[in-house]
Structure 1
Amino acid sequence: MRILIVDDEPAMHDSYRRSFASAASSRDDTLSAMAADLFGDEAAEDDGEAVSFDCVHHMQGLDAVAEVERSRGGDQPFAVAFIDVRMPPGIDGKETARRIRAADPDINIVIVTGYSDFSPVEISKVAGPADKIFYIAKPFEVAEIVQTATALAHRWEADRALKVAREQLSRQVIQLEEQAAELAANEMKAIHVANHDSLTEAPNRLAFLRALGERSKQPGRFAVGMIDLDRFKLVNDTLGHLAGDELIRAICAILQETIPAGGLVARLGGDEFGLLFEAAGEQAAEMACTRVVHAISVELKVLGHSVQAAASAGVVTAGEGDNRDPIDLIRRADLALNDAKRSGRGVARLFDESMDEGVRVRRRIETGLSQAIARDELALVYQPIVAHGAFEVVGFEALLRWNTREYGPISPATFIPIAEESNLIHELGDWVLAQSLDVLKSWPGQYVSVNFSPRQFRRHNFVGYIMERCQRAEVEPQRLQIEITETAIFDDADRAAETLYRLRQMGFRIALDDFGTGYSSLYNIRKFALDALKIDRSFIDGMSREKESAAIVRSIVHLAQSLNLTVIAEGVETAAQVDLLRVAGASHLQGYHFAKPLAEPLARDMAHARFLEVEPATGTLG
């Protein structure tokens, strides 16, 4: 421990030296008692270890102050300073103590004097705090000096350790406060992200449901609107997803500008938005949504491209006595939106109960469809595909029929879309494929053509699924023709191209159904592994009446031939159509002119007969 001694009398310095020298050779037994009296039992216990002192002597206060300043700068501070009060001709002990305290706030100061011009209170005011300033009268006892120095040295050590601990704790507190502030900021950010759409910064579905739930508890009539963009997928497919995102942002801005004052606009996902606003009545709500739809129906610049925006809307209102369940309100607004889309798009529709009845019918169909296989209500019929010229039956298209116990026959045009939406399409598809492969065992060599919906085509490991079913049925891949629509392949063109390539490599036949009704072109389908194009029946039906339809059919046939694709004309019903298709160059025909869809026994007989006898003049079967 470093001890500073400041006194203008040489004799006093000698006394200090003798005192500390004797302390180094022997210890006074009363040391612990004094430490305990001054600083408590803990200090007395700590005093069990001997302290080694490094004493520095100065005759004048200014020298002592300079020494303290040097010691602080060199990181060798003093633990205790013994200071005389009267030290002419320099500064006195009071001023020395004041300057030393200013230079080193941690040092313990002991005023040693026989006579003082200042009271302890006066000195304490300038050299305090009170717990770091002490007094010893001259002449002093050796033990008194040594014990004081030892006790204060321990105290000084403890104070330094406590100071370090406090500084460390302070840093930890600051760190914790910073972490707490960061956590609070992250929490606010997380809450914002959880309740807002990242693309538009508009409230998301969660926030919309919460706002709708809160509004439902309050009095007064309000409206819930659902907005869906028309032909948004076309923008994504032709201009890319960045353009689609930009269009979504632009539409959201229009909605926020045109919604009735105080209303809420939320992006619910994809190109769908939700509206919540106050409405005096049903007509006012419908008019508000109509204004929104008209505001959206403008030409917008999207990444340098001109895009004609359009939307459809459905709206429902809720008054005091109405059902205000948020989920049901959204459901009913969705029903109105669907009705708007079925009505030709670009309009707003107000919900009415007849829409809900249509949903109940759909639910009954869905429930019945889930039990149709177990009830043995399903059946397959087969329509022949003939090669033009000799009219050879080369294959059959398998067509699904459903004859219910409660409602009688239900059209595939009704139940297939419901099966697709409800995910029952996989169960139905599995049944159709199994039945279709099974009948091939009784046919001499024809193929069966099976329709696969977009959802079936996108199922996981579609290729492996088809191959496994054929192996189980012991059917060669070339005897199965997979019919898919343009929607199935153009929704994800890259994945579809890979899937079709793998199917063709394994030997399966691939036909693109209803060609000409979607957005595809022969230029776009070059990259897909296809065997045949099936021209949609709408073009075949118009051939005899419209030059345009005949020209389209001829163009499709000639371009398909240049790509080595077979053309199958669907919906052939008259001899005149047969002749026109022969002139156009269509290689394969299918339709009522040759046969309606047949039950399996009749299809088997036709397969074994192989050739159909057709009288060209009348087009009737011989």
Structure 2
Amino acid sequence: MNFDFFRTKLKWRLATVAATSFIFVSTLGTLGYTVAGAFHYMASVVDDIDDARAVTAAKGALRALQKQLGATVRDNAYWDDAFSQMSGPGATDWATENWGSTTANYPLYDTAMALGTDGNPIMAYHKGEVVTDPNGFYLGKLAQVIDAARRPDPGRDGVPVSFIKTQDGIAIIGAAAIQPSAFEDKLDYSALPVLVFSKQLTPTVVAEISATFTISGLALQNTVDPLRALHAELKDMEGHDVGYLTWPHVDPGTTGYLRVRPTVVGAGIVLILLLTAVGGAGFMAFRSISSSERRSAYEAKHDALTGLLNRVGCFEQLEKAVQSNVLGASLLMIDLDGFKPVNDAWGHAVGDELLRSVAARLVDHLPDGAIVARLGGDEFAVISRDQVLKDGALAARILTSLSSPFVIGGRTIEISCSVGAANMSDPGTNAAELLRRADLALYRSKDMGRGRSMIYSPSLDEDAANTSDLEQELRHALASGQIRTVFQPLVDATTREIRGVEALARWKSATRGDVTPEVFISLAERAGLIDQLGFEVLRLSVREASRWPGVGVAVNVSPLQLRNPYFASQVGDILAQADFDPMRLTIEVTEGVLISNPDQAKRAFKTLRNMGIKIALDDFGCGYASIGALREFGFDRMKIDRSLIVALDHDDRDGAVLHATIALANALHLPVTAEGIETEEQAAAVRLSGCDELQGYLFSRPASADQITQAYFAPSSRLAG
């Protein structure tokens, strides 16, 4: 019985041990399974977060590409000069020069097309080569792009951009009707030519997106298996998928789980510690993903070159300042004066270093709390919430900070800047309006010259509206033949006989009366009408001068006209149509031509001289022409500015300057014309100094062609015969 008791007790103990062991093992197994399941779930969550981040980044990259191309199309299509040129006879050449020729190596697009109202190409280039069948190049899908482009865009920000299949693969495409920079309700947008830009999504472009947005294994595919790869759709104008950006699942969570699983299985007694370690690893994974997202967000809103906010980041900060209703909030737009010559002279590497130096100097010299941004190119912006604009103190500080020379790579570089400022003077002013006002003020400050600042006032809007109205009047005047010419005689300094005439443009507005040449010529240069105006004056001048045998005619030419590569040939066409001897024509240019595209000017001068046309340097003595420049350009005549003539009556030293200037011209074997002669004393002084030709009110005010004929060429005139 005792034996049975002990046997029973032993069995009980064994059962207890077995039960305890089972419970222990079951508990450990359950705990292990739970922990493993938790790890697996955590890995799955990390994988999902990484996938979501990658999808967001890919779609953000596509949006960035679309915004970039849309901005490029908008800048080129909403352009008064382009709108004017596309309706002219030289549309193809102009479009090829400005758009087609750049497709060979331009980073923003490799295809450029200008399509007429009938859908036929005015110009079509792809990677520097002519495209003969634009619709075929886009596989028959170009019509839907053109239809979208011709929809009116009052806000000037609705350029349609999408993706499209081409003969070379998939491309991003944007298009807009070529139209004036300001929206016009009455304009028939369905009848406008269309500008199309596209960029092939080549392996290089895809690789750049992959590197920029940290998406490994990014590839462009026509189809996608959602179970095997992540993807972002590329949609056309109608919302259909034309392709996909795909990339493999990275699964950082699963990778981490697979690494620690053997340790979890083999070290059950340290399960809690291992769980803590894996939890820590999961935390690090979450933190890494969060850091990656923050980095992507930072890169999307900051300029890669300078580290400043970019246009997107600047506008976001401006909206925050506006939404806070701080009436002292202000925006200053900064445009560097003289930056392009730095790039042209020393290359983009020096230009980039100069931009970084400008950014650093702005940050160092501006008040605490001021936000500095680079909007693109050589344009910067500053946002401030301080009450500093009432005296222009902040604008003055910016001008001063950039006035000191920069030393870059051993080179001393001097630049200046123009500043336009606007502040929250009116409650309810939104960010876009503040940006518009600052931009308008910047435009006015640049008109005033280098190193100036302008603070927005409502009068600028009035001036802009007045200028716009005057521009439209000028367009109408050119189209309806309201521009006329008058002539001022050029007489021999000794005999007082007429040698030639200078043609001068005149315009009498139906609503404003006489508009001075200084106003409407400057307006024509800004509005892209200077070629049309200049050729109209030339056409009228040679037509009238044809009735004065043996007398030359001088016509003024803007430096901007010499940027036209076809200027010389168009002058030749006008002379041929009028049957006018080229040797009777003198082209007068000011000293501005010496720095405004000098190489282009030299080529034009050479072609003009080969035709027999003479080149005169006008208004010498009021600018910066050097002796070297006079020799280099080889002018046929020099015209002394009126300011040197007027000075004869006030200061003997100014007379010495005049004599020295004429002596310089004589030493260079340049005949000299003195402008602005009003008295016999002035005429005698310049003749004795060496001038062979005179012009001024002493002889005649500017007169019509009929008055010139009556005074100098009629049988009864005192100089006839």
User: Is this a same-fold pair by TM over 0.5?
Assistant: yes
After superposition, the Cα gap between the structure-2 partners of 1:220 and 1:184, relative to the gap in structure 1 and judged at 3 Å, is farther
Which runs of 5 or more structure 2 residues have no equivalent in the other structure?
Answer: 1-202, 216-295
> Which of the numbers 548, 556, 559 marks the counterpart of 1:443?
548
* Match of residue 427 from structure 1: 532
Which of the two has higher C-alpha Rg?
1
> Which of the numbers 604, 610, 615 marks the counterpart of 1:505?
610
Query: What is the one-letter code of the residue matched to 2:380?
Result: F
Query: Mapping of 1:9-88 within 5 angstroms?
Result: none
Query: Mapping of 1:84-163 within 5 angstroms?
Result: none
> Which of the numbers 654, 658, 663 marks the counterpart of 1:558?
663
Query: What is the one-letter code of the residue matched to 1:537?
Result: R
- How far apart are the structure 2 equivalents of 1:462 and 1:261? 52
* Match of residue 330 from structure 2: 223
1:53-103 superposed Cα distances (whole Å, 9 cap, x missing partner) = xxxxxxxxxxxxxxxxxxxxxxxxxxxxxxxxxxxxxxxxxxxxxxxxxxx
1:346-397 superposed Cα distances (whole Å, 9 cap, x missing partner) = 5644321122222222122112111113454322110111121112211111
Matched, 1:250 2:325: no
- How far apart are the structure 1 equivalents of 2:715 and 2:525? 35
Matched, 1:324 2:350: no
Contact map agreement 1:279 1:317 (CA 8 A) in 2: no
Matched, 1:460 2:565: yes
Aligned to 2:550, the other structure's residue is in SS state: coil
State the superposition RMSD in angstroms.
3.7
- How far apart are the structure 2 equivalents of 1:191 and 1:397? 63
Q: In the TM superposition, what is the alpha-carbon distance from 1:474 to its structure 2 partner?
A: 0.9
* Match of residue 288 from structure 1: 394
After superposition, the Cα gap between the structure-2 partners of 1:203 and 1:612, relative to the gap in structure 1 and judged at 3 Å, is farther
> Which of the numbers 211, 215, 236 marks the counterpart of 1:185?
211
- How far apart are the structure 2 equivalents of 1:531 and 1:463? 17
Contact map agreement 2:418 2:445 (CA 8 A) in 1: yes
- How far apart are the structure 2 equivalents of 1:543 and 1:437? 35
* Match of residue 695 from structure 2: 590
Number of positions where the alignment pairs a residue of Structure 1 with one of Structure 2? 435
- How far apart are the structure 2 equivalents of 1:182 and 1:303? 30
Q: In the TM superposition, what is the alpha-carbon distance from 1:335 to its structure 2 partner?
A: 3.8
* Match of residue 540 from structure 1: 645
Q: In the TM superposition, what is the alpha-carbon distance from 1:509 to its structure 2 partner?
A: 0.9
1:285-338 superposed Cα distances (whole Å, 9 cap, x missing partner) = x33333223333334435545566544422101267243252x43342244345
Aligned to 2:394, the other structure's residue is in SS state: helix
Contact map agreement 2:484 2:540 (CA 8 A) in 1: no
Deviates more, 1:339-348 or 1:553-562: 339-348
Q: In the TM superposition, what is the alpha-carbon distance from 1:601 to its structure 2 partner?
A: 0.2
* Match of residue 503 from structure 2: 398
- How far apart are the structure 2 equivalents of 1:399 and 1:541? 21
Deviates more, 1:206-215 or 1:270-279: 206-215
- How far apart are the structure 1 equivalents of 2:404 and 2:434? 29
After superposition, the Cα gap between the structure-2 partners of 1:515 and 1:421, relative to the gap in structure 1 and judged at 3 Å, is same
* Match of residue 469 from structure 1: 574
Query: What is the one-letter code of the residue matched to 1:547?
Result: D
Query: What is the one-letter code of the residue matched to 1:385?
Result: L
Query: What is the one-letter code of the residue matched to 2:559?
Result: P
After superposition, the Cα gap between the structure-2 partners of 1:362 and 1:609, relative to the gap in structure 1 and judged at 3 Å, is same
Aligned to 1:523, the other structure's residue is in SS state: helix
After superposition, the Cα gap between the structure-2 partners of 1:200 and 1:531, relative to the gap in structure 1 and judged at 3 Å, is farther
* Match of residue 408 from structure 1: 513
Contact map agreement 1:490 1:496 (CA 8 A) in 2: no
Contact map agreement 2:301 2:310 (CA 8 A) in 1: yes
After superposition, the Cα gap between the structure-2 partners of 1:609 and 1:218, relative to the gap in structure 1 and judged at 3 Å, is same
Deviates more, 1:478-487 or 1:353-362: 353-362
- How far apart are the structure 1 equivalents of 2:478 and 2:452? 40
- How far apart are the structure 1 equivalents of 2:306 and 2:673? 47
* Match of residue 601 from structure 1: 706
Q: In the TM superposition, what is the alpha-carbon distance from 1:271 to its structure 2 partner?
A: 4.7
Contact map agreement 1:500 1:530 (CA 8 A) in 2: no
Aligned to 2:542, the other structure's residue is in SS state: helix
After superposition, the Cα gap between the structure-2 partners of 1:281 and 1:258, relative to the gap in structure 1 and judged at 3 Å, is closer
Deviates more, 1:355-364 or 1:497-506: 355-364
Query: Mapping of 1:194-233 within 5 angstroms?
Result: 200=306, 202-203=308-309, 208-209=314-315, 212=318, 216=322, 219-221=325-327, 222-229=329-336
* Match of residue 593 from structure 2: 488
Aligned to 1:283, the other structure's residue is in SS state: coil
Contact map agreement 2:493 2:692 (CA 8 A) in 1: yes
Aligned to 2:619, the other structure's residue is in SS state: strand
Deviates more, 1:446-455 or 1:201-210: 201-210
After superposition, the Cα gap between the structure-2 partners of 1:281 and 1:311, relative to the gap in structure 1 and judged at 3 Å, is closer
Identity of aligned residues (%): 35
* Match of residue 672 from structure 2: 567
Contact map agreement 1:534 1:567 (CA 8 A) in 2: yes
- How far apart are the structure 2 equivalents of 1:420 and 1:600? 26
Matched, 1:279 2:386: yes
Aligned to 1:225, the other structure's residue is in SS state: strand
After superposition, the Cα gap between the structure-2 partners of 1:236 and 1:513, relative to the gap in structure 1 and judged at 3 Å, is farther
- How far apart are the structure 2 equivalents of 1:594 and 1:270? 52
- How far apart are the structure 2 equivalents of 1:476 and 1:454? 24
Q: In the TM superposition, what is the alpha-carbon distance from 1:519 to its structure 2 partner?
A: 2.2
Query: What is the one-letter code of the residue matched to 2:616?
Result: A
- How far apart are the structure 2 equivalents of 1:566 and 1:242? 45
* Match of residue 472 from structure 2: 367
Matched, 1:259 2:375: no
Aligned to 1:591, the other structure's residue is in SS state: coil
After superposition, the Cα gap between the structure-2 partners of 1:219 and 1:491, relative to the gap in structure 1 and judged at 3 Å, is same
> Which of the numbers 403, 409, 412 marks the counterpart of 1:297?
403
Query: What is the one-letter code of the residue matched to 1:298?
Result: S
1:562-593 superposed Cα distances (whole Å, 9 cap, x missing partner) = 32222111111111111110121011111111
After superposition, the Cα gap between the structure-2 partners of 1:585 and 1:457, relative to the gap in structure 1 and judged at 3 Å, is same
> Which of the numbers 403, 420, 423 marks the counterpart of 1:314?
420
Contact map agreement 1:391 1:611 (CA 8 A) in 2: no
Deviates more, 1:598-607 or 1:233-242: 233-242
Contact map agreement 1:400 1:432 (CA 8 A) in 2: yes
Contact map agreement 2:565 2:600 (CA 8 A) in 1: no
- How far apart are the structure 1 equivalents of 2:658 and 2:585? 26
- How far apart are the structure 2 equivalents of 1:594 and 1:197? 62
After superposition, the Cα gap between the structure-2 partners of 1:355 and 1:548, relative to the gap in structure 1 and judged at 3 Å, is farther
After superposition, the Cα gap between the structure-2 partners of 1:182 and 1:452, relative to the gap in structure 1 and judged at 3 Å, is closer
Which runs of 5 or more structure 1 residues have no equivalent in the other structure?
Answer: 1-177, 615-622
* Match of residue 459 from structure 2: 354
Aligned to 2:486, the other structure's residue is in SS state: strand
> Which of the numbers 491, 503, 511 marks the counterpart of 1:386?
491
Contact map agreement 2:562 2:600 (CA 8 A) in 1: no
Contact map agreement 1:394 1:610 (CA 8 A) in 2: no
- How far apart are the structure 2 equivalents of 1:511 and 1:307? 33
After superposition, the Cα gap between the structure-2 partners of 1:198 and 1:526, relative to the gap in structure 1 and judged at 3 Å, is farther
Contact map agreement 1:393 1:610 (CA 8 A) in 2: no
* Match of residue 82 from structure 1: none
Contact map agreement 1:395 1:449 (CA 8 A) in 2: yes
Matched, 1:578 2:672: no
Contact map agreement 2:445 2:454 (CA 8 A) in 1: yes
Q: In the TM superposition, what is the alpha-carbon distance from 1:216 to its structure 2 partner?
A: 4.8
After superposition, the Cα gap between the structure-2 partners of 1:375 and 1:475, relative to the gap in structure 1 and judged at 3 Å, is closer
Contact map agreement 1:226 1:275 (CA 8 A) in 2: yes
